[in-house]
Structure 1
Amino acid sequence: MPDWTRLAASGLGEVARHHIALAAPQRVLLFGRAQLELFGIARERAREPLSLDCAGKPHPLLAAPDLRNLARSAARRENFWNRWLDWTQ
């Protein structure tokens, strides 16, 4: 498992923010809640409505379980799908 806290401290989160700002998406979907640490967001907040500030512009952020966990649990897929529908309305 990557040490997301150490990677964030080394500047990887800022590089990711920069690339997101360059792409200028309407929303950001993050598969794997552990990566939230790159952006200084605690994993415990993964189910809350989140926003990611990139170059002064907020981007709505949906943190989902990693794909491996979604693939092995119908309940997680259902929960993700319902959250996705709520998030995109």
Structure 2
Amino acid sequence: IIQSMNSAGGRCHDNARCESMWARMKEELFYSRGDKSEKYTMRELKTMIWRYYMSYWVNRRICTANGGLPPAARRKLYYDHIFLVA
């Protein structure tokens, strides 16, 4: 996995959040493992990335815009509130 280059205008802050996410994911999925020379198939990579995204970025990541809750927890509160009102 290779990080993308800066935006067309040369402003690195335009895509800083995306680059930060890719850097963290690569560190946790690949660089922190013992065997650095292991080759993965495309299917394995897609599965690893999907599982990482769904487990961390949706269920555990603290989001300040959601009052410090992960997106999945905030969504559950929203739907629970809808059912209580209805």
Normalised by the length of structure 1, the TM-score is: 0.29
Normalised by the length of structure 2, the TM-score is: 0.30
Structure with higher strand content:
1
Larger Rg: 1 or 2? 2
Could you say which structure has the greater relative contact order, defined with CA pairs below 8 angstroms and 6 or more residues apart? Answer: 1
